Chain A
């Protein structure tokens, strides 16, 4: 069971079951816990090779035991996402903790990845259970429906779930070329039905400079 203790600490109650968490993110626990690093993000050999090749490496540890374990990482704000058989796309660096019943994998994101400063691949989490994601500042969940597409700055995007198509679009014009750009030349457009998580802070991206 995941619950938030304040906005920056995640408390997980364990009763003999397991969770997967970012390596070294435990800050305290009571009861008895064991920590084991899962080589290659815990996706088996094939997942490990894929992660190495795609640069979407995660160091993940498996936490098992009885009691309450507290997780936090560099005072990042934490949001909880519940999955009911659907798929969450999240950057490996924004993933803090997942239920052990959830499957993780990697997918190709295309051009968006390059502009958002996260590489061309992203991590997917699939199944039924809870996920804790991290953001710089508290994340907002923005709903996307068929008639209302959403435009997101690539540097502020952290995760999305649901049945969404993403398109990369640029507003580069002659002003940008002469160095008078507004700093908002690239956006990701989300269409379909789902939720997009956005942080109130921007990573350093190639797109953010023009």
Chain B
């Protein structure tokens, strides 16, 4: 079920019987029709083991299940919302940036170290993502929050995209990412340009960048 953007900070979703969707708890603004909101202790799909996994990984955001028939409007904290449509590929996003997503998507947790080993873990620390990140896979739509507007930058082979770790929001597709450092003696003496660490993304897909260096 697709999300319809009402304005840059609100989205509307249509809920039909038999189709679940998940949203961040408390993100509902208004609804029409017969819709029920159930707090989801497990913080998403996948049963007990996934729940424990998320708890351990610190990727457990309070989610709720939205069911019924009608339309629901979502928004949170005045943050800008970007709707991302997935067609079978995987979206990597921080759990606290997730506003709402289709129940048809497979939710998972990924260890940063599994992409790039130790450097992957360092990357998670630098970008404030921690050691784990959330993945969503399948066909459906995701509403992601960001501070300020979001721009989508396509990644094509042979043309790498570098992103400020603090401005990174999410990425999807077949993308390798690694942390590149441009640390020089200037940074050591406190004369850095403020751009010492960058995420280097290569492969094919897209990365979403927010117009701000602030975390949510």
A and B physically associate: yes
User: Which A residues form the contact surface with B (CB < 8 A)?
Assistant: 5-9, 23-31, 33-37, 39, 59, 61, 70, 72-75
Name the CB-closest residue of A to B182.
A35
- Interface residues of B, dominant DSSP: loop
Interface residues of B in 134-170 (CB under 8 A from A): 147-149, 151, 153, 159-164, 167
* Number of interface residues, chain B, beta carbon within 8 A: 26
What is the total of A-B residue contacts with beta carbons within 8 Å?
87
Q: What A residues does B149 contact at CB under 8 A? A: 6-9, 75
- B161 near A27: Cβ-Cβ < 8 Å: no
- A27 near B163: Cβ-Cβ < 8 Å: yes
If A34-B182, A75-B212 touch, does A26 touch B151 (CB 8 Å cutoff)? no
- B193 near A73: Cβ-Cβ < 8 Å: no
Chain B 176-202, CB-CB to A under 8 Å as 1, else 0, gives 000000100010000111110000000
Q: How far is the CA of A36 from the CA of B195 in the complex (A)?
A: 9
Q: What B residues does A75 contact at CB under 8 A? A: 147-149, 210-212, 214
- Interface residues of A, dominant DSSP: strand
Task: Show 25 A/B contacts (Cβ-Cβ < 8 Å), sorted by A.
Answer: A6-B151, A8-B211, A9-B151, A23-B194, A26-B164, A27-B164, A27-B167, A28-B167, A28-B209, A30-B159, A30-B162, A35-B182, A37-B191, A37-B193, A59-B194, A61-B194, A70-B153, A72-B148, A72-B210, A72-B212, A74-B213, A75-B147, A75-B149, A75-B212, A75-B214
Q: How far is the CA of A128 from the CA of B213 in the complex (A)?
A: 30
